[in-house]
Chain A
């Protein structure tokens, strides 16, 4: 990862000046603004607290050739605002991407999933537990193992391998939108023969490659930048699998179904769709049924669901 630098600009203002100050910053900063309380009042149950007093408005500027001009424009606009209402001088701080990209790691611990799996941060050693460790460094990719959608999918993968005859024919996995590769790595460790992981995000493919190596499954995991179209076109070493996974988001799952996702399923195969809010489940199910699938199981965690489908012609 390149270690780019940012200039953080922030100022503490009263509630009613938050909007105009944010509006000024939004014109020049990257991505949007953040506003943070300087103090909070806890609600009755500690859940519905409110900011108290002034707020700090933050924006971030990339450190490049345009920096000085943007900074000057911001200061000028703030100066005009300060003629209406007094404003403090903005404060500046230089940040490195590596500072904040790694800051949350110290809060990340091994997480047991389902009956047999344990997600372990890649920077930790193997834990003294009987569970099967899956080493994951999320980098900048989706799939840290902490999110309900990933946990539901992992549970479905575990169920799949428990239900199948270990002496039966070997089983492959295709993972569309593989993110960190966590699902396919789990499948390989639970008994899959080969996995094909595809993602349209180069950062994800990069992160997944590291994870594949950390878990020593390189020889059985084909990892590529791509998606359903490329898989259907036969661009990879295999084109159908007993287990197909897509842990993305409901609208994407529906689109993939419409674009032929079920053609990746080997006869008698199983499809697991996740990243779906419970309010979206009916639409996803309808799209799957229309494409010849039968809902075998719904797994739920908070308001997220994973839908498990089999081919409708199965008993």
Chain B
């Protein structure tokens, strides 16, 4: 019989460095997930990408069991890298911190396509551009 899905938790965490500290401990423990089992699995699967933020999407079932898949890095992380800035604007939309080109947006959209619920690449680009603006990044040609 299919197991009953209780919730889905996505963690944006550092590859290879999961431990039971926040946010993993507080976010998962309440669902009865064995924290160390998750951390060990996550670290094993991301050990070769230390230094990146690799989100894990965890499906938690009613019986306390779980499965997880790895996702592409957050759009905001990829955008900051593309723009060469450390952080987004503290005062968007007027406070600008940098810019990204439409070609860079397309590249990010292509990479993240499978994780975005966009119908086509234009839809995905539209979402990425929205995130860029919300962070105080101009999108230029």
In contact, A81 and B92 (Cβ under 8 angstroms): yes
**What is the number of contacts between chain A and chain B, taking CB atoms within 8 Å?**
177
Q: Say yes or no: A8-B26 contact (C-beta < 8 A), given A23-B74, A32-B11, A32-B14.
A: yes
Give the distance in Å from the alpha carbon of A140 to the alpha carbon of B75 in the complex. 32
B contact residues around A106 at 8 Å (CB): 32
Q: Say yes or no: A149-B40 contact (C-beta < 8 A), given A23-B135, A35-B10.
A: yes
A contact residues around B4 at 8 Å (CB): 42, 46
Question: Taking chain B's interface residues, is the majority helix, strand, or loop, or is none over half, making it mixed?
Answer: mixed
Interface residue A49 (Cβ < 8 Å from any Cβ of B): yes
B contact residues around A16 at 8 Å (CB): 127, 130-131
A contact residues around B36 at 8 Å (CB): 138, 140-144, 147
Interface residue A60 (Cβ < 8 Å from any Cβ of B): yes
Closest chain B residue, CB of each to CB of A38 = B7
Interface residue A100 (Cβ < 8 Å from any Cβ of B): yes
In contact, A104 and B32 (Cβ under 8 angstroms): yes
Closest chain A residue, CB of each to CB of B45 = A277
Most B-side CB within 10 Å, residue of A20, A30, A31, A143:
A31
Stretch at the interface among A72-80, A158-166, A167-175, A260-268: A72-80
- Min CB–CB distance A31 → chain B (angstroms): 5
In contact, A20 and B88 (Cβ under 8 angstroms): yes
Interface residue B84 (Cβ < 8 Å from any Cβ of A): no
Which listed residue, A6, A17, A36, touches B7 by the CB 8 Å rule?
A36
Which listed residue, B13, B26, B34, B90, touches A73 by the CB 8 Å rule?
B90
In contact, A22 and B3 (Cβ under 8 angstroms): no
In contact, A34 and B34 (Cβ under 8 angstroms): no
Question: Taking chain A's interface residues, is the majority helix, strand, or loop, or is none over half, making it mixed?
Answer: mixed
B contact residues around A42 at 8 Å (CB): 2, 4-5
Interface residues as binary, A1-38 with B (CB distance below 8 Å gives 1, 0 otherwise): 00000101000000111011011101101111111110
Which listed residue, B7, B23, B34, touches A59 by the CB 8 Å rule?
B23
In contact, A46 and B2 (Cβ under 8 angstroms): yes
Which listed residue, B40, B47, B67, B130, touches A47 by the CB 8 Å rule?
B67
Interface residues as binary, B1-45 with A (CB distance below 8 Å gives 1, 0 otherwise): 011111111111110000111111111111011111101110111
Give the distance in Å from the alpha carbon of A47 to the alpha carbon of B65 in the complex. 12
In contact, B53 and A32 (Cβ under 8 angstroms): yes
- Min CB–CB distance B12 → chain A (angstroms): 5
Which residues from 97 to 139 on chain B have a C-beta closer than 8 Å to any C-beta of chain A? 117, 127, 130-131, 133-135
In contact, A80 and B91 (Cβ under 8 angstroms): yes
Closest chain A residue, CB of each to CB of B8 = A37
In contact, A36 and B9 (Cβ under 8 angstroms): yes
B contact residues around A251 at 8 Å (CB): 47-48
A contact residues around B33 at 8 Å (CB): 104
- Min CB–CB distance B119 → chain A (angstroms): 15
Which listed residue, B3, B23, B43, B74, touches A29 by the CB 8 Å rule?
B23
Interface residues as binary, B41-61 with A (CB distance below 8 Å gives 1, 0 otherwise): 101110110000100000101
Which listed residue, A23, A81, A100, A143, touches B29 by the CB 8 Å rule?
A100
Give the distance in Å from the alpha carbon of A174 to the alpha carbon of B18 in the complex. 26
Interface residue A128 (Cβ < 8 Å from any Cβ of B): no
Closest chain B residue, CB of each to CB of A80 = B91
- Min CB–CB distance B139 → chain A (angstroms): 14
Give the distance in Å from the alpha carbon of A85 to the alpha carbon of B92 in the complex. 11
Most A-side CB within 10 Å, residue of B8, B28, B29:
B8
Give the distance in Å from the alpha carbon of A273 to the alpha carbon of B71 in the complex. 29
In contact, B76 and A30 (Cβ under 8 angstroms): no
In contact, B90 and A76 (Cβ under 8 angstroms): yes
A-B contact pairs, 24 of them (CB 8 A): A16-B127, A23-B76, A23-B135, A26-B76, A29-B22, A31-B22, A33-B11, A34-B26, A35-B12, A36-B8, A36-B9, A40-B7, A45-B2, A47-B59, A49-B5, A59-B23, A60-B22, A81-B92, A100-B25, A104-B34, A140-B20, A142-B36, A146-B37, A275-B40
Beyond A20-B88, A46-B2, A84-B134, 8 extra complex contacts between A and B, CB < 8 Å: A17-B134, A23-B131, A34-B26, A58-B23, A60-B23, A77-B90, A140-B20, A146-B34
Q: Which residues of B contact A (CB under 8 A)?
A: 2-14, 19-30, 32-37, 39-41, 43-45, 47-48, 53, 59, 61, 64, 67, 74-76, 87-93, 95, 117, 127, 130-131, 133-135
